[in-house]
Chains A and B, each alone.
Chain A
Amino acid sequence: MSNVHPYVGRATPRVDGPLKVSGLATYAAEFFAEDMLYAAAVPATIAKGRIKRIDLSAAKGAPGVVEILTHENRPEIPEDDAPYLNDMVAVPGSPFRPLRNDKVLYSGQAIALVIADSHENARHAASLVTAEFEVETPTVDVADARSTAYEPPVPRDGIPPPPPPRGDAEATFKGSEIRLKHDYRVAPEHHNPMELQATTVVWEGGGALTIHNKTQGVINPKNYICSVFSLDPEKVRVVSPFVGGAFGMALRPHYDLFLAVLAAIKLERSVRLVLTRGQMWTMGWRPDTLQTVALSADADGKLTSVSHHAIQATSQFEDYQEPIVNWSGLIYDCPNVSLKYELAKLDVSTPSDMRAPGATTGVYALEAAMDELAYELKMDPLELRLKNYAEKDGNDDKPFSSKELRAAYEQGAKRFGWSERSPEPRSMKEGKELVGYGVATGCWEAMMQPHSARAALSADGRLEVACGTADIGTGTYTILAQIGADAFGLPIEEVTAKVGDTSLPMAPVEGGSWAAASAGNAVQLACAALKEELLKAARGLDDSPLANADVAHVTFADGKIALTSDPEKSVSYADALKAAGSERLEAKGDFAPDGEFAEKYASYTHSAVFAEVRVDEELGVVRVERIVSAVAAGKILNLATARSQILGGVVMGVGMALHEESVWDKSLGRIMNANLGEYHVPAHADIHDIDVIFVDEEDKANPMGVKGLGEIGIVGAAAAVANAVFHATGKRIRELPITIDKLL
């Protein structure tokens, strides 16, 4: 680092903050085009069956209506699956495509698209479309489909199936005196970021399209649209600079994108489609999952067997998969492990990744079972976890690239005051309320993906760093600017970060918490390359004071390149640019994860989560008094945005433990609480103190030592709360969320 006060590692305020709070940040539904048309999607009111007739007469006569598309009159679309599989996040199966035919696959599926001259007229006309259906009885509860469960025949790309069994878990369990086996269930959830799913397609003429789509990676909608509609990639640009939260729901292209582009092409006009809040329940979701965990241990608390079986919901047409059970083979050290993962098909939309997909659900069950085991053993739950601490990843039999979970347990326990816990359930009380302490471990894979980035210095002294990744609210803009500022010793105000545009260097979707490590390292590499270029230019000056210097011997700061040993000898960035004969000098950086390293080491982030709850037993009311989350996630680039990620994850974990649940009517197959009034996420009153600790952890999986932490915050949080509820009340609720009725 060349500047005296590096930004990296510090709590640097968000560089995009002022734009966001002043409303100047432009989201997908806020781009305008001349003569733009507005679309509204009409949802199916049944969950399974066939459209017999759609009546458009009233809608057609409504003011401002330009066109109404249905499966009967839509333009031709490819019948093969292949073009629709040009989606980086596609899962095995036949991807959904709107208006394909008369079949209804899930409730809320778009059966018509109304296009009108204003948003209001489009919605009005959409409300006048009626349809008759041939209704079949839907299945929407995974428990009702249990008998049809199957192991996914084709694994999803990037999602490892459970490892083969090691040892003999079943026999060990049978022969054990200390053992338990329980069923756990987490309610289905929907992401519900603040920003609605939306697409604005700008018809540029000559077959060129600029698309603004709510997405976690502009490349994905671009590839998908080009292949589905046979468009020339040179003529399609996707620009989505800001995303109002996504949590995984905007990884895959959704029907708003398909329909808006379909309409724009058909009408040769710009079109915007914004889904309604209710329609946010007609796409990806965190799938309902039935889990069984069996554990056995010796009298000292050493685990002798772990079995974990999950049956997870998916749609009729795709095998959505997430790693639910694998965690149980690597978080603790155990010689006998058996993991099984199955799917069951329901008449629902395909589930999708939702913050720490799989881990949130699976680690909850494992950590609840571990807590039960601790009480069975009359052992401190934290002690039990330390006793079974894994020094290597048992699934892959590899050492960890780094694992400071022990430090996280220690520092978290200290900050929380875990030692003040009295061991017996129901033994702590304050006023009318029972008090409970709970702990859980969190774990998430530290992933990386190939990313390219660009760094450019211009004559006005400004640096631009750019990468086609997305900032879904996590702080990507800020960390990229920090890295650039440090590389050139610039104040961060003189650095512009750019993301969310297919004209920028290639990046995949932003997911799996890999963006900070991948885009961050790519920008770092681009800056290093740019430094070389700039120094080369400076050396080329007549009588250059840096004539023989190489990059190791110079410092980039204060607008100039100086010899580190003799700072008087320097060349300003401006003079170097002049020498290069250019107003702007740019360089690229290509980052790819180190495959050899990954062969040798397993990389994970870890956390220790401690929760204190207060329970009014008589009335079943639970309050989360405080949470301490101690996280080991490698190098922390920005303490402020990193902390915010953990806070958000913890709040979502509290929601999973106590509030969130999408409720289907089993006979109608519809989600009945598809609005934010009745789908409860934690309100301010539900959240008190959340204390975040980042423990020091040095990791070598990538040059910057970054692991990413968008997801680790939620993993373990729900289990810590649920375990605290048990400690308070002696009641083990194995179905989340823990609502009043379950505690009465």
Chain B
Amino acid sequence: MLSIQNLHAEVDGQPILKGLTLEVKPGEVHAIMGPNGSGKSTLSNVLAGRDEYTVTQGSVTFRGEDLLDKAPEERAQAGVFLAFQYPVEIPGVGNSYFLKTAVNKKRAAEGKEELDAKGFLKLLKEKMALLEMDAKFKSRDLNVGFSGGEKKKNEVLQLTMLDPALAILDETDSGLDIDALRIVSKGVNSLRDKEHSFIVVTHYQRLLDHIEPDFVHVLKDGRIVKSGDKSLALELEAQGYAGIADAA
């Protein structure tokens, strides 16, 4: 699905990722943990194609194609979704109008017919029910005035609506209350199958109680310094990052 080889990236001339290698197969869930500033969001943004990040070395292929070659919207249409650590507000743009636009862009890229209003609303209703979201979020402006937790929930709503092959969740759990965490995880898990892959960036074990990862990686100073199964997360929870030897 996704193959990252020796990835180096910098922002404003400052190297952040320094030789990151990661292999994600279809159906796998990879958790990425690591101290603040270690480069987790940088990795997410590089994969999504943000302009400010320059890749200086290495390669990324997604479903056999060079990902770094593509514009952000092409990556999205090809099935890469990023749930942002800080979702932005867009005044005057209705949440459901935006979602419909996005869903139909993706469908068009896949050669599918556009969803009509009825088909779209049915899908939206179903996903909002799954995420226990109030109907009023349909008509509100995109993320405008949403609480921190509501914004994160709205990211997951978009995720479930767009149904991407690869979802990158950048600290989607931060800011969620206990119930919301459970609900959001339910939304994510609803997509899990042999086809869908996930990269879950988090600081806390509690998310991984709900979304069970196949692999856990520790990112430190722009490199993956340790990988393991879900027990690694428990280990980290107990010992912190200090105990992790620089194995790379």
Query: Does A pair with B?
Result: no
Chain B residues at the A interface, C-beta cutoff of 8 Å: none
Chain A residues at the B interface, C-beta cutoff of 8 Å: none
